[in-house]
């Protein structure tokens, strides 16, 4: 059996002023699953941060320069610098599937193949931008079925021929040299179409490889906006006019004249439509119309001037290209993190934790996918941004009955779990996976029985741990029986079956072992929460305010101790130098009832109570920086993220000694711990009053809070510890997978 040929690839990226997308493009390229390839980046006359981005990647790539804003010249520079047998091109706003080069390489096992291109997804990541395309000798494109066989069209002089998309194409280097590379006249548009035509006319085949996938963002440029509205037409019109006059005239000069006239009319009508519909101004239309006239004239003239030349303008470097510069092998894991909520839509709790872990793992060289909820099926997307693949998926069309019955899960939980499993099946094409999901709502439970993936379940507050504090669950028998109790039973099964658990505190490990009766300590990796540095961007005041500002952050519910915070405020009363601020929850009927009870039905004064409601992250960070003390009277916390956010801002915490808070708040170091008993509100009030009177102690605790953050609760520290769980799970799966799928069909 013939071994698969894996030729050395040179991947060329041509860039101008795309620093915002270039880093992602290069990150994606460095995660390619291919044994031998180099990355060549040709920087045009960029004026943004492109050089800084290239410096970050300079050890892993070749860097070239192009003085002109001309794509064909830039591509020829890239070819000249390339030392691979195959030269592939991808845009600076695109990211390849990890198997892209493996798939492109397959057709090159046939000697007659000179060029191979793949299929390209648009900025949604789930819809096709281009699949198979044919072009004629006038530069007109025709989209054909995926099953269309383009190979018979690969003959010299064929009126139709396969034409590859510039962001997903490749060529034998020897063929590019034979035809002279790219034609410099094509500064923008039809450059690769011209090359494909000349490859075919040189007797080589141009073929499609549908499994070679590229995700194309289609970012804005100085030539068009993100919605493809043109800013200038001169380069593209010149290219089209040149193409028709250069190739179309040789086939049929009379038809070429008609094609050029029709093209002019089409573009003029498009300009008129854009102006009539308010997409561009009248002045902008005039500019585009002038570009049209000039472009047609320039293209026609240049075609006559280059009439005798059938080659491109590639100028090989004297002595040949620099030595092959292999990209370093991808060292990381491929990790799928599941969280229905995710920033920016949700920026608290598990959503915020997932975001920080995902970004941190990506920065450490892992390829991370986040599965989160799309509002509707039409809003589903797959986007690579900031080094993280974000899959927004919709489960509304899923029939969960089979899975719900097999696992005795509520239908809504089963529906999402099935949708997650199906997306994981798709992501498997990227390579071996570690799937991570939270115990809350068991979002990835359908993956537990999949023998082909490693699994990590992160421990947060669960249904069983929350139930004692959820009054509404206990007074609704049907909800309790059909949802809550089913979830608790399912949580127990998941705790029993999950091979690796990621815990944020020793307390949650002990509490879960006690509540569920399942031994988990031996499978749990401890990774205390971390948080962003709130002080980094803030101007921290050193002036001592007369009024002590106490901040409560959380939902206005009993588990978060909202009632205790209100009662403590009442206990202090209208103290002239203390005020309480509440953020994270709305004043609904239940919270107003708590206020009415605490104030014995009397009007509560806004002189010392301030309710900010649910606030954006920047506003919340401002509240942290502006307060003096953070109050966290939660009756149960698996960890206590609010406490470390407070410490990031250098603010001491007054908290109940409940759950994981006992491991975060250290008395006389970074805060005050209150016994969780009937007198908690009075103890809180006494602690706050004490700090108000003893400002020296308050300052000492503030310094201690900041030190605690810097030494124990940074994002880097959290990610480093969490990474151990994913590495452990991957190693265990590599050693223990028996290959049998025991899951229920989803």
* pLDDT at position 604: 62
| Average predicted confidence (pLDDT) for the chain | 92
Three-state SS string over 9-73 comes to EEEEEEECCCHHHHHHHHHHHCCCCCCCEEEEEEECCCCCCHHHHHHHCCCCCEEEECCCCCHHH
Helix (H, G, I), strand (E, B) or coil at 443: coil
Cα-to-chain-centroid distance, residue 224: 24
Give the span between the Cα atoms of 135 and 664, in whole angstroms. Answer: 65
Of 617, 595, 597, 594, the C-alpha closest to 606 is 595
* pLDDT at position 348: 81
Contact 172, 86 (CB under 8 A): yes
pLDDT at 540 over 70: no
pLDDT single digits (tens) 365-375: 999 999 999 98
Give the span between the Cα atoms of 9 and 100, in whole angstroms. Answer: 11
Structure tokens at 36: 């031998």
pLDDT single digits (tens) 77-128: 999 999 999 999 999 999 999 999 999 999 999 999 999 999 999 999 999 9
Q: Write b or e for each residue in 475-513: b if 16 or more Cβ atoms lie within 10 A of its Cβ, otherwise e.
A: eeeeebeebbebbbbbbbbbbeebebbbbbbebbbebbe
Give the span between the Cα atoms of 612 and 580, in whole angstroms. Answer: 11
Same domain, 340 and 291: no
User: What is the CATH classification number for the domain harbouring 571?
Assistant: 3.40.50.2000
Three-state SS string over 272-333 comes to HHHHHCCCCCHHHHHHHHHHHHHHHHHHHHHHHHCCCCCCCCCCCCCCCCCCCCCCCCCCCC
* pLDDT at position 331: 86
> Region 201-206: what's the mean pLDDT?
97
* pLDDT at position 3: 63
Going by pLDDT thresholds of 50, 70 and 90, the confidence category of residue 742 is very low
Q: What proportion of the chain, given as a percentage, has pLDDT over 90? A: 80
> Region 174-179: what's the mean pLDDT?
96
Same domain, 341 and 453: yes
pLDDT at 722 over 60: yes
Going by pLDDT thresholds of 50, 70 and 90, the confidence category of residue 218 is confident
Same domain, 280 and 380: no
> Region 480-486: what's the mean pLDDT?
93
In a domain, 195, yes or no: yes
- Beta carbons within 8 Å of 698's beta carbon, 6+ residues apart: 628, 629, 652, 691, 692
pLDDT single digits (tens) 295-350: 999 999 999 988 777 789 999 998 889 999 999 999 899 999 999 999 988 888 89
Contact 692, 578 (CB under 8 A): yes
Give the span between the Cα atoms of 737 and 720, in whole angstroms. Answer: 26
* pLDDT at position 741: 38
Same domain, 503 and 647: no
Give the span between the Cα atoms of 343 and 372, in whole angstroms. Answer: 10
* pLDDT at position 144: 95
In a domain, 319, yes or no: no
Going by pLDDT thresholds of 50, 70 and 90, the confidence category of residue 1 is very low
pLDDT at 625 over 80: yes
Residue 535: which region, alpha, beta or left (left: phi > 0; alpha: psi -120 to 50)?
A: alpha
User: What is the CATH classification number for the domain harbouring 165?
Assistant: 3.90.550.10
Same domain, 512 and 562: no
Give the span between the Cα atoms of 689 and 694, in whole angstroms. Answer: 9
In a domain, 739, yes or no: no
pLDDT single digits (tens) 495-530: 999 999 999 999 999 999 999 999 999 999 999 999
In a domain, 339, yes or no: yes
> Region 191-201: what's the mean pLDDT?
97
- Beta carbons within 8 Å of 153's beta carbon, 6+ residues apart: 134, 160, 161, 162, 200
Give the span between the Cα atoms of 326 and 328, in whole angstroms. Answer: 6
Residue 94: which region, alpha, beta or left (left: phi > 0; alpha: psi -120 to 50)?
A: beta
* pLDDT at position 663: 92
Three-state SS string over 105-157 comes to HHHHHCCCEEEEEEEEECCCCCCEEECCEEEECCCCEEECCCCCCCHHHCCCC
Query: Using a CB cutoff of 8 Å and minimum separation of 24, what contacts does 377-382 make?
Result: 380/124, 380/126, 381/124, 381/125, 381/126, 382/121, 382/124, 382/125, 382/126, 382/215
> Which has more confidence, 223 or 156?
156
State which of 494, 526, 558 marks the end of a domain.
Answer: 526
- Beta carbons within 8 Å of 39's beta carbon, 6+ residues apart: 11, 13, 26, 29, 30, 57, 60, 61, 62, 327
> Region 714-734: what's the mean pLDDT?
94
> Which has more confidence, 741 or 478?
478
Give the span between the Cα atoms of 684 and 643, in whole angstroms. Answer: 15
Give the span between the Cα atoms of 227 and 92, in whole angstroms. Answer: 17
Same domain, 576 and 705: yes
pLDDT at 689 over 90: yes
DSSP 654-707: EEES-TTHHHH--BTTTEEEE--STTHHHHHHHHHHHHHH-HHHHHHHHHHHHH
Tell me the sheet residues that pair with 143: 133
Give the span between the Cα atoms of 335 and 435, in whole angstroms. Answer: 6
- Beta carbons within 8 Å of 391's beta carbon, 6+ residues apart: 125, 369, 370, 371, 372, 381, 382, 423, 427
Same domain, 456 and 400: yes
Phi and psi at 483, nearest 5°, equal -125, -60
Of 543, 536, 505, 503, the C-alpha closest to 645 is 536
Tell me the sheet residues that pair with 95: 215
* pLDDT at position 744: 47
- Domain limits for position 23: 9-305
* pLDDT at position 602: 66
In a domain, 684, yes or no: yes
* pLDDT at position 607: 63
Same domain, 513 and 454: yes
pLDDT at 254 over 90: yes
In a domain, 2, yes or no: no
Tell me the sheet residues that pair with 14: 42
Of 628, 619, 568, 556, the C-alpha closest to 592 is 556
* pLDDT at position 403: 94
Question: Distance of CA 591 to CAs 99, 476, 676, Å?
Answer: 54, 20, 21
How many C-beta atoms surround the C-beta of residue 226 within 10 A?
12
* pLDDT at position 736: 36
Helix (H, G, I), strand (E, B) or coil at 547: coil
Going by pLDDT thresholds of 50, 70 and 90, the confidence category of residue 738 is very low
DSSP 702-714: HHHHHHHHHHH-B
Structure tokens at 178: 């034979």
pLDDT single digits (tens) 562-602: 999 999 998 888 666 899 999 999 989 888 889 888 888 66
The DSSP H or E segment spanning 564 is helix 562-572
pLDDT at 670 over 90: yes
pLDDT at 615 over 70: yes
Helix (H, G, I), strand (E, B) or coil at 85: coil
Q: What is the count of structural domains for the chain? A: 3
Q: What proportion of the chain, given as a percentage, has pLDDT over 70? A: 95
Going by pLDDT thresholds of 50, 70 and 90, the confidence category of residue 735 is very low
User: Count of alpha carbons within 13 Å of 461, Cβ hemisphere only?
Assistant: 22
Distance spanning both ends of the chain, measured CA to CA: 37
Of 427, 466, 452, the C-alpha closest to 338 is 427
In a domain, 366, yes or no: yes
Helices (H), 409-557: 411-427, 463-466, 471-474, 477-479, 485-497, 506-516
Same domain, 290 and 395: no
Same domain, 244 and 283: yes
pLDDT at 737 over 60: no
pLDDT at 252 over 70: yes
pLDDT at 227 over 80: no
Query: 147-156, 189-198, 239-248, 632-641 — which is least confidently predicted?
Result: 632-641
Same domain, 353 and 475: yes
> Region 652-676: what's the mean pLDDT?
93
> Which has more confidence, 737 or 254?
254
Going by pLDDT thresholds of 50, 70 and 90, the confidence category of residue 740 is very low
Phi and psi at 641, nearest 5°, equal -60, -35
In a domain, 703, yes or no: yes
Same domain, 656 and 519: no
Going by pLDDT thresholds of 50, 70 and 90, the confidence category of residue 739 is very low
């Amino acid at each position: 059996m013939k071994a698969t040929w894996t030729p050395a690839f040179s991947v060329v990226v041509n860039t101008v002023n795309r620093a915002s997308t270039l880093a992602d493009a290069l990150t994606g390229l460095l995660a390619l699953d291919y044994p031998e390839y180099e990355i060549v980046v040709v920087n045009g006359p960029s004026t943004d941060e492109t050089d800084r981005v290239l410096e970050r990647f300079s050890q892993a790539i070749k860097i070239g320069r192009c003085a002109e804003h001309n794509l064909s010249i830039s591509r020829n520079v890239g070819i000249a610098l390339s030392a691979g047998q195959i030269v592939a091109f991808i845009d600076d706003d695109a990211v390849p599937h990890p198997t892209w080069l493996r798939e492109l390489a397959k057709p090159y096992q046939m000697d007659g193949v000179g060029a191979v291109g793949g299929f390209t997804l648009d900025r949604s990541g789930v819809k096709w931008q281009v699949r198979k395309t044919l072009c004629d000798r006038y530069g007109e494109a025709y989209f054909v079925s995926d099953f269309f066989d383009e190979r018979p069209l690969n003959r010299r002089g064929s009126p139709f021929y396969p034409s590859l998309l510039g962001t997903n194409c490749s060529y034998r280097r020897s063929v590019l040299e034979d035809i002279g590379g790219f034609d410099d006249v094509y500064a923008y548009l039809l450059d690769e179409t011209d090359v494909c035509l000349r490859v075919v006319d040189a007797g080589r085949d141009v073929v499609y490889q549908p499994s070679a996938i590229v995700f194309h963002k289609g970012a804005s440029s100085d030539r068009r906006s993100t919605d493809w509205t043109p800013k200038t037409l001169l380069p593209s019109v010149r290219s089209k006019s040149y193409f028709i006059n250069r190739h179309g005239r040789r086939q049929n000069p009379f038809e070429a004249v008609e094609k050029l006239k029709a093209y002019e009319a089409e573009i003029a009508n498009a300009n008129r439509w854009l102006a009539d519909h308010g997409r561009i101004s009248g002045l902008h239309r005039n500019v585009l119309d002038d570009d049209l006239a000039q472009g047609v004239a320039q293209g026609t003239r240049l075609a006559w001037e280059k009439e005798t030349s059938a080659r491109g303008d590639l100028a090989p470097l004297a002595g040949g290209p620099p030595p092959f510069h292999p990209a370093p092998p991808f060292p990381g894991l491929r990790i799928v993190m599941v969280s229905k909520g995710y920033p920016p839509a949700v920026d608290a709790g598990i959503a915020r934790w997932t975001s920080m872990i995902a970004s941190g793992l990506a920065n450490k060289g892992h390829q991370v996918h986040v599965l989160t909820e799309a509002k509707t099926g039409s809003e589903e997307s797959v986007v690579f941004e900031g080094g993280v693949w974000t899959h927004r998926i919709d489960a509304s069309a899923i029939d969960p009955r089979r899975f719900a019955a097999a696992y005795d899960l509520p239908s809504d939980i089963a529906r999402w779990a099935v949708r997650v499993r199906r997306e994981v099946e798709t992501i498997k094409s990227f390579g071996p996976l570690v799937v991570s999901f939270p115990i809350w709502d068991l979002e990835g439970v359908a993956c537990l029985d999949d023998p082909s993936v490693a699994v990590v379940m992160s421990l947060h507050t669960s249904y069983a741990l929350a139930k004692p504090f959820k009054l509404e669950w206990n007074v609704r028998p049907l909800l309790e029986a059909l949802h809550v109790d089913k979830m608790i039973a399912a949580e127990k099964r998941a705790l029993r079956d999950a091979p690796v658990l990621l815990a944020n505190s020793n307390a949650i490990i002990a509490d879960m072992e006690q509540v569920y009766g399942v031994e988990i300590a031996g499978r749990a990796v401890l990774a205390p929460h971390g948080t962003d540095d709130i002080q980094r961007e803030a101007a921290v005041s050193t002036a001592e305010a007369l009024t002590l500002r106490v901040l409560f952050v959380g939902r206005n519910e009993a588990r978060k101790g909202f009632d205790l915070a209100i009662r403590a405020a009442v206990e202090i009363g209208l103290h002239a130098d203390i005020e309480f601020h509440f953020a994270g929850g709305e004043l609904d009927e239940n919270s107003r009832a708590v206020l009415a009870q605490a104030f014995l039905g009397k009007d509560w004064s806004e002189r010392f109570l301030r309710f900010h409601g649910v606030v954006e992250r920047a506003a919340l960070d401002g509240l942290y920086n502006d307060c003096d003390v953070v109050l966290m009277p939660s009756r149960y916390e698996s960890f206590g993220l609010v406490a470390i956010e407070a410490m990031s801002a250098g603010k001491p915490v007054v908290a109940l000694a409940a759950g994981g808070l006992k491991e975060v708040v250290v008395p006389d170091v970074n805060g005050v711990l209150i016994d969780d008993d009937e007198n908690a509100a009075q103890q809180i009030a006494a602690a706050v009053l004490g700090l108000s009177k003893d400002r020296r102690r308050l300052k000492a605790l503030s310094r201690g809070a900041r030190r605690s953050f810097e030494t124990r609760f940074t994002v880097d520290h959290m990610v480093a510890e969490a990474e151990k769980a994913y590495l452990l799970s991957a190693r265990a799966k590599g050693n223990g997978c028996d290959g049998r799928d025991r899951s229920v069909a989803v």
